[in-house]
Amino acid sequence: MATPDETAASPGGVATEPEGGGVPRRTSRKYNELNGILLVDKPMDWTSHDVVNFVKHRFSPRKIGHCGTLDPMATGLLVLLLGKATKLQERFMGQSKIYEGSIKLGLETDSEDATGRITSERGAEGITREMLETAMAAMVGDSMQIPPMVSAIKKDGRPLYILARKGVIVERKPRPVSIHSMEMLSCEMPCASFRVHCSKGTYVRTICADIGRKLGCGGIMTALRRLQCGKFSVEVAYTVDQMKSWGYPELENAVMPMERVLALAEGDA
């Protein structure tokens, strides 16, 4: 079952260091005095918390945070804030996101993606590419989105994903979201790929589920990659494998300095 969503906060879980646990920890004072932004291309099956923990244990920054969770099944841009840059977390968290993803029609799951338990299987016979493309286009605009049960939103102090694991379904309040654009990239029914530009807090898997409901056949998200957060792009992000061999010079070169970060925060860059 998926953990909470592509853009909102996640439960994190136990943040063990996957696959990279044997990498020596850097304890030099230089490392914990670094301030700025580090762009990471999150690998599949790592939680966002895993990536934070990897950097924390590898380089020992004084403070570290990130600007928007990615589910373990998702890959792509994770914006890490180091040192003084953590004070700007809320400002960068509010930026819009661009994703590429895949949808499969004819199915519904309890997580609205391919990691969940199948709750309905109706098939997508009679649904054409044109119908799907029209449904995607109809998602553009401002709307109220009901978040999935598998999310970190809390009910009476408990994250919904914990209730979902016990089979408990509770009412969720719709939240305002904005979908700035959504376009089909390819299609081989009942599957298609797409690119979507959306606001903070938008659940891309819920977009897929809503499209499936509109078409009367159900739909789930089968893949997701974050390409952009505000002005930050995955094209200039670093992989975890790259960072495993870094020393201080490589890290210092990779971290966006505070002068540049502040300019971006003020909208001047």
Catalytic residues, by residue number, are 71
- Rounded to a whole number of angstroms, the distance between the first and last alpha carbons of the chain is 40
How many Cα neighbours within 13 Å face the side chain of 33? 4
Tell how far CA 255 is from the center of its chain.
21
What is the pairing mode between strands 75-82 and 219-229?
A: parallel
Residue 41 backbone dihedrals phi, psi, to 5 degrees: -95, 100
Q: Are 99 and 68 in contact (CB under 8 A)?
A: no
Q: Are 72 and 46 in contact (CB under 8 A)?
A: yes
Coil, helix or strand for 264? helix
Q: Are 212 and 220 in contact (CB under 8 A)?
A: yes
